[in-house]
Chains A and B, each alone.
With several copies, the nearest count.
Chain A
Amino acid sequence: MINKIVSSVEAALAGIGDSASIMIGGFGAVGQPDILIDGLVDKGARDLTIITNNAGAGLIGLARLLAAGQVRRIICSYPRSAGSVAFEALFNAGRIELELVPQGTLAERIRAAGAGIGAFYTPTAFGTELAHGKETREIAGRQHVLEYALPADVALVEAWQADRWGNCTYKQSGRNFNPIMATAARLTVVQSQHLVALGTLNPETVMTPGIFVDRVVHQPYGDPQG
């Protein structure tokens, strides 16, 4: 029998060690799996590489993980935002590495990793600093930049509903990076607002099929914070 549901955040994060690369879903606070991030803080894993869109705000969620000094490197598109004080303090002090990636290229690199595509050519960033040193190629009369798949050891995902097979749905703009990150990591851990019985989710509208998911922990967390 397939049962991916685990009963605690600790069990959900078991085996995640120092130096892991970790994708974290969410766009701003919406769809960001804060409880799992808090679990990472409690766990104390260090030297992490974090792959995510933003770099957190305030002192909760991702910002808390950054402030705890557990992150060596962040790969993201938009670290600067209202309240991104934790990131900015680390960055200005030279205590965190930043790989800045255009948002669409970040999404596509994550998707490529999940889809077994080794690399791809995108027109985005051609001729800019963010393509500096990268291979380029003219395709169909247009200049493109070569970008590589971006896999991770772990993906932390926030879902709206999940069942014991790991099938998930998301809520409104909480979908964002969550479904693609779920496909791109060796270990995909879902924090779900609701647990539902197998068969509750309509097969036509499952957004993340369970094949991509390893563990589900029920966290009726409520509305996005911050």
Chain B
Amino acid sequence: MGTTVEALSREQVAARLASDIPDGWYVNLGIGAPTLVADYLPEGREIVLHSENGILGMGPAPAPDRVEPWLINAGKKHVTMLTGGSFVHQADSFAIIRGGHLDLCVLGAFQVAQNGDLANWSISTTEKAPAVGGAMDLAVGAKHVWVLMEHTTKTGVPRLTERCSYPLTALGVVSRIYTNLAVIDVTVRGFEVREMLPGLTLEALQEKTAAPLHISAGRLAENEHG
């Protein structure tokens, strides 16, 4: 693909995303890679994590000798509670999600389309044992939906596309994408590159992206001044 730039690790993308979460936001981290974001929340910011199974104010994983058997997150891993946290039942937990009370949901994805369509729950309509969980609720409910994913599949197929070919999770919901190569906003113009790895050219990034990339106004201004 012609670039010698070293892509970010999943941990680095998670940390990059975490640094953009403002103080005081209520955030749901989807299962899989988004869960890593919890490990990189910036010091000094109070960010309240929500878990679909009915937790507000979820803390990090416990020390092995401090596991609470009854306290798991949506990924069914043991977690802790922060001071100020609380429990709700399943209907109330999804009232929080669907009702627009979360500032942010971070989700993994198979594909994101330039109009913000999200495909992250199934790779085929004939899949064996499909599973959806809370993905569709989170995608339509959170005030901001940010996607954290590799820029392409392992075989190099772009995940940012003109139109999703995989089954949709929700229509027009993604507002920002953090990949191992770039940070990209989804706007009325389509994909707007907000940030790229140092040394990566727009052309090289475009090569790995199956829809037109635009330079965001913010970034243009930055370039003009820099």
Contacts and interface: CB of A to CB of B under 8 A. Distances in A.
Do A and B come into direct contact in the complex, CB within 8 Å?
A: yes
Interface of A: 1-2, 27-31, 53, 77-82, 84, 87-88, 91-92, 98, 100-105, 107-108, 110-111, 113-117, 122-130, 163-165, 167, 170-180, 183, 198-199, 201, 203-204, 206-207, 209-212, 223-224
Contact of A173 (B54, B83, B129, B137): B54
A203 B23 CA distance: 22
Interface in B46-101: 46, 48, 50-57, 68-74, 76, 81, 83-91, 93-101
B204 interface: no
Nearest to A207: B89
Contacts of A198: 83-84
A223 B131 contact: no
Nearest to A31: B70
Contact of B86 (A28, A103, A171, A209): A209
B167 A129 contact: yes
B70 A107 contact: no
Interface of B: 23-24, 26, 46, 48, 50-57, 68-74, 76, 81, 83-91, 93-102, 122, 125, 128-137, 140-141, 167-171
Nearest to A27: B53
B48 A2 contact: yes
Contact of B89 (A104, A117, A175): A175
A198 B84 CA distance: 5
Given A103-B134, A128-B170, A173-B87, 6 more contacts: A27-B53, A92-B129, A129-B168, A170-B87, A171-B70, A173-B73
A115 B170 CA distance: 18
